[in-house]
Amino acid sequence: MKKGAFFTLSVIGLVLIAIGLCYVKSAPEAQGVMRVLPYYCIGIGCGAFGHGVGELIALKAAGDLQKQIEIEKKDERNITISNYAKGKAYDAMIYIFGALIISFGLMNIDWHVVLMLVFAYLLVQGISVYYRGKYDKEM
């Protein structure tokens, strides 16, 4: 994408943020979908604005700096550190997620919510087992 596209994305993000904030202030008694729509506008606007401005800043970076950033992204040491950090975060997530499910169960939260959390937890565990088996066969 070119510089103009990122600038346009930033402006669209600002407009969405403004629309969302104006609607939150002007219609506090909204019902149904209109109750959450302004917050979606704010969230999408923040994402679009941040992405656009970030890319504009990256485009302004000198060519040598961009080369250095690309080298660092592809550096094996940085990739290993990133994967190690992801592994530690996954290990922590398993215990945190399990504690959250148990807490919701003890608080008598609607069983639909607890079942969705249990399903998501088991899905993550299943994906972990699948890739563990796949990588064990490869290596």
pLDDT digits (tens, 9 = 90+) for 10-55: 999 999 999 999 988 888 787 877 888 889 999 999 999 999 998 8
Helical H segments across the chain, by residue range: 3-26, 33-60, 63-74, 76-106, 111-138
Amino acid at 62: A
Q: Is residue 68 part of a domain?
A: no
Which of 33, 60, 87 terminates a domain? The answer is: 60
- Would you say residue 100 lies in a domain? yes
49 lies in the same domain as 101: no
**In the prediction, which pLDDT does 47 show?**
95
- The total number of structural domains in the chain stands at 2
| 84 and 132 inside one domain | yes
Tens-place pLDDT, residues 51-108: 999 888 888 876 667 777 778 778 888 888 888 999 999 999 999 999 999 999 899 8
Q: How many Cα atoms occupy the beta-carbon half-sphere of 47 within 13 Å?
A: 6
Identify the domain boundary among 60, 87, 107.
60
Domain span at residue 119 reads 75-138
DSSP character at residue 30? -
Band of pLDDT at residue 130, cut at 50, 70 and 90: very high
- Interval 121-135 mean pLDDT: 91
**Would you say residue 118 has pLDDT above 90?**
yes
pLDDT of residue 139: 79
Q: Same domain, yes or no, for 56 and 79?
A: no
Same domain, 56 and 80: no
Within-domain flag for 32: yes
Q: Are residues 86 and 44 in the same domain?
A: no
**53: in domain:** yes
84 & 134 share domain: yes
Q: Which residue has the higher pLDDT, 33 or 117?
A: 117
- Is 67 part of any domain? no
Going 55 to 57 to 58 to 63, the CA torsion angle's sign is positive
Same domain for 99 and 56: no
